[in-house]
Amino acid sequence: MKYWLALISMFSCLGLMGQDTYHRELLEFLKEDFAIEPAAFLLYDTEQQINQNLSIYGNKDSQINPIQNFTFSQVVDVSVKAVGTNIWDSGINIRNATGVKRDDIILVAFWAKHTSMTSELKVFAENSSTFEKEIYFAFNLTPDWTQYFAAFKSSGDFDVNGLTLGFHIAAQIQQFQIAGFTGLNFGPIDLKKVPSTFSPAFYGGYEADAPWRVDAASRIEEIRKKDLCVKVFDANGAAIPGALVEVEMQKHEFGFGSALVGCRFPGNRCYNPTYVEKVLDLDGEGHGFNVAVTENALKWDAWEENWIGTPDETVSAIQWLTDQGITTRGHTLVWPGWNHMPDDMLQNQEDVVYLNTRLNSRIEEMINHPVLSKLVTEWDVLNEITHVRDLEMAFSGKPDYVSGRELYIDILKKVENLQPDFVNYINDYVVLSGGGAGNSVVDRYKSYLDEILESGAKFDGIGFQAHIGTHPTSIYKVEDILDEFFARYGKRMKITEYDINDNVDDSTQAIYLADFLTMIFSHPGMDAFIMWGFWDGNHWKNNAPIFNLDWSIKPSGEVFIDKVFREWWTNASGVTSDAGSLTLRPFKGMQKVTVTVNGESQDTIISTLDTDTLSFSFESTPTTAIDFVKHYQVYPNPVTDNSIQITSPYPQQDVNIQVYSYDGKLVLEQTGVGVNDHLDLDLAPGIYWLKIDDSKKIQVSRVVVL
C-alpha cells in the first residue's frame, strides 16, 4: 500500500459554516487541490449525524459542543481520566454506514488539537469482527487545530457495520478535541492521488539531513571498528618497509541474521537447495548470515508435536548451521500462553503442581539436550510476558506465589542452575513493534523486568521483536528506547524479529530498513539484528525483507546487502612504513590478513576481538620490499611536475593504481589507467608508495615527489 503526505495547518479562522457545508467544502478542497472527483460518504454527510453515532468509551469524560468561526461547527471534547492497561481501553469509534469493496480507496479526515500539555492517540480502521487492521497510526497532537488525512486501500469487502473507524486514546491522561471526523470512499482509484498525513515515508528521522545521522556515523566509527597494527620483519628481525598489507573481511562480529526454517536444510523433509544457498550467499559474492534463530521448531508445542520436523531433524539443521559458522539462538523456551504450549497445560490449568512439573521437564529437556546444549547456548527464555499472561494468572495467588510472575524468576533460576554459562534473553514486541505500544503497556513491561532484576535471577539480554507497522517507528523513538533500556538494565540487546507491514510501499521499506539498521548498528548496547524470515516463501506475512517468492531481490534486500557487506565491510590495503608497520582500522570481526614481500605472500585469519597487533616474519632478507615484479616502470622518478607515466616493455592492459603516503595511508586511487598514459598526482612533496595492480600481478614502487 502506498501513501502520500498532506498535512495542512489551519492558519486563519474561517467563517461560520453550516453542518453540511463542512462536507461540501471538504469535497471541493479535495477536487481543487488533488484533482479527486466527488466521493461516496462512508459514514454520514453531516457532522451532527456522525457525532451522534460516535461511541466514546472507557475511563473518560466527553461532550459535543458547538464552535463558531471554523470550517467545522461541532467539536468533541475528550478528557481521558486514567492510563489504560492497553491503549484501546478507552476509545472513540464509529462503524461504516455504506458498504466497501475490495481495493476501494478510503480517506479518513478529521481536525484535532490537544488541550493538555501533551497528547498521544492512535487512529485506526479495522474489521469489526476480527479487529484486523487496515490502518493503525500513532500520532501526537499539537496545541493548534490541524487537519489530518489517513488513506488506505481496502483489503476486502465490508458490509454496512463491517468496518470500524476511530481512535485508541488510553496511552496517557490527556485532554483533546476532535472535529470534522468523517470517511470518504473514492472507489478503486490510485491511492497516491489521495492525501495522507500518515504516509510511512515520513517517519520520524526520515530526512536526509536528520541530525541523528551524524551521531550514528560517529558511533559506528568508534564502537564497530578497531585498530589493527600489522608488523613485518625479515629473518634477522629487521623491519621491512614497503611490504604490501591487505585486509579482507570474512565475517562481522555484530550479528546479522534471520529466523530460519529447519526442514529446509539438507536431509530434512522440505529441503530447498536454493534456500540453503541463499543463507550462505545473499549477494552472489559469498556473503551470508552469521547468526540464526529457529522460527518455530524449538517452541514447546512445535518440538513435542513435530510441527516443522522431528527433534532430530531440527538438531540436524542447527548442526549444519553451526558447521557453516552460523550461531543459532533458541526461540523460545517458555511462551506463557495456553495457545503456545501443549494442550495438556490448558487442560490442567488449575493444577500448579502439574504445570510446574511439565515446565521443569521442558526446561531440562531443552537446556540439557545432549547435542542441542552444545549448539544453542543462547535462548529467549521468556517470550511476550507483557501480553501473554496465562501462566501468570494460573499461578497468581497459589501457595508460594503472589502475582504469579514469581514463576518467571523460578524459570530463569532453573536455567541458570542447569547451565550457568548460557545467555538468557527476555523477548517481547511491545516496545518497538507497530510504532511502539502505549506508555502504560511499556511501563508494565518495565515493571516486570524490574521485578526480575531485583530478584537476582540471571537474565543477560533484552530482545526487541520489531515487527514494524504501517507507520514505521520513529528513528528518534528507537534511539530513545534503546538508550533508556540500556541505561536502566545494563543488559545486552538484540533486534530479534524484524519485519515491516506489507502495506508500506517497497521504496519506503528499503529506506526505513537502511535507517533502522544504521541506528541499531550504531548503538553501544546492541549486539545483533535478526529479521523474522528473509524470503517471502517462508514468512508469516509473506513479506520478508530480502527476497521475493521467486528469489528476486527486493529493494530492502539491496539495502541490507549494501549496508552489511559493502558500507560496513572492510577491504583495505596499505604498505608498511620505515618501521615495518601499518595500522588499519577494520570493522570488528574475522579478517584475512595477507602480507606480500618480493612476490612472496603470507596470510592468516584473525578475529579483531582477540587481536590488536599481528606480526609477520619472512625468511629472506630483501634489500627492499618494493618492485615485486618489474613489469612496469614509473617515469620520471623523482617526480618533478606532479605527473607520471607508467610504462612497460610488454603488452599490458589498463591498470588500477593506489598511492600511499610513506606511513601507509591511502592518498590517491584511480582505476583504468592506461599504460603510457600520463597521470596527474597532485601530491605534496614527499616519499610515496605506488601500487600497480593489473589483476594478475601487483607491483609496489617507491616514488619521490619533489
Supply the DSSP string of 418-454, one letter for each residue: H-TTSEEEEEESTTTGGG---HHHHHHHHHHHHHHHH
pLDDT exceeds cutoff 60 at 5: no
Distance CA 30, CA 195 (A): 9
Per-residue confidence (pLDDT) for residue 429, from 0 to 100: 92
The backbone torsions φ and ψ at residue 200, rounded to the nearest 5 degrees and listed phi first, read -65, -20
Angle among Cα 12, 13, 19 to the nearest 5 degrees reads: 140
pLDDT exceeds cutoff 50 at 676: yes
pLDDT exceeds cutoff 70 at 528: yes
Length of the chain: 706
Query: Which CATH number fits the domain 8-198, given the four candidates 3.40.366.10, 2.60.120.260, 3.40.640.10, 3.40.50.620?
Result: 2.60.120.260
Express the helix, strand and coil content of the chain in percent, nearest 5 each: 25, 30, 40
**pLDDT (tens digit, 9 = 90+) per residue, 272-322?**
999 999 999 999 999 999 999 999 999 999 999 999 889 999 999 999 999
Nearby residues of 216 by Cβ (< 8 Å), 6 or more positions away: 518, 519, 521, 522
Cβ(379)–Cβ(333) below 8 Å: yes
Q: Which of 302, 425, 410 is nearest to 356 (CA)?
A: 410
Distance CA 609, CA 588 (A): 7
Question: Residue for cell digits 562480529?
Answer: 253
SS (H, E, C) 142-154: CCCCEEEEEEEEC
What average pLDDT score do residues 696-702 get?
A: 75
Cβ(448)–Cβ(408) below 8 Å: yes
Q: Which of 199, 260, 200, 204 is nearest to 519 (CA)?
A: 204
At 436, the pLDDT band (50, 70, 90 cuts) reads: low
Angle among Cα 133, 530, 206 to the nearest 5 degrees reads: 60
Cβ(577)–Cβ(662) below 8 Å: yes
What average pLDDT score do residues 461-477 get?
A: 90
The C-alpha cell at 473 is 517507528
The C-alpha cell at 348 is 490442567
**SS3 label, residue 474:** coil
Task: Name which of 109-123, 349-363, 424-438, 533-547 the model is least confident about.
Answer: 424-438
Estimate to the nearest angstrom the gap between the alpha carbon of 706 and the chain centroid. 52
Task: Name which of 60-64, 198-202, 305-309, 360-364 the model is least confident about.
Answer: 198-202
Residue spans per domain, the chain: 8-198, 254-397+415-444+461-556, 633-705
pLDDT exceeds cutoff 90 at 621: no
Provide the CATH topology of domain 633-705.
Immunoglobulin-like (2.60.40)
- Neighbouring CB atoms inside 10 A of 163's CB total 24
Q: In what order do the strands lie in the sheet with 666-673?
A: 666-673, 655-661, 686-693, 698-705
**pLDDT (tens digit, 9 = 90+) per residue, 308-367?**
889 999 999 999 999 999 999 999 999 999 999 999 999 999 999 999 999 999 999 999
pTM of the model: 0.75
Q: Which of 685, 684, 688, 683 is nearest to 702 (CA)?
A: 688
The C-alpha cell at 176 is 483533546
**pLDDT (tens digit, 9 = 90+) per residue, 243-283?**
999 999 999 999 999 999 999 999 999 999 999 999 999 99
What average pLDDT score do residues 98-122 get?
A: 94
Cβ(164)–Cβ(104) below 8 Å: no
**pLDDT (tens digit, 9 = 90+) per residue, 126-185?**
999 999 999 998 888 888 888 889 999 999 999 999 999 999 999 999 999 999 999 999
| Percent of the chain with pLDDT strictly greater than 90 | 69
Query: Which CATH number fits the domain 254-397+415-444+461-556, given the four candidates 3.20.20.80, 3.40.50.2000, 3.40.50.970, 3.40.30.10?
Result: 3.20.20.80
Measured between its terminal Cα atoms, the distance across the chain in Å is: 62
Task: Name which of 37-46, 218-227, 626-635, 648-657 the model is least confident about.
Answer: 626-635
Bridge-partner residues for 575, per DSSP? 244
**pLDDT (tens digit, 9 = 90+) per residue, 71-87?**
899 999 999 999 999 99
pLDDT exceeds cutoff 70 at 620: no
Distance CA 578, CA 235 (A): 17
Which amino acid does the sequence have at 419? Q
pLDDT exceeds cutoff 60 at 119: yes
The C-alpha cell at 448 is 516486570
E strand residue ranges, 235-296: 244-252, 255-260, 291-294
| Mean pLDDT of the residues in the chain | 90
Per-residue confidence (pLDDT) for residue 435, from 0 to 100: 60
Distance CA 109, CA 130 (A): 24
The C-alpha cell at 498 is 524484524
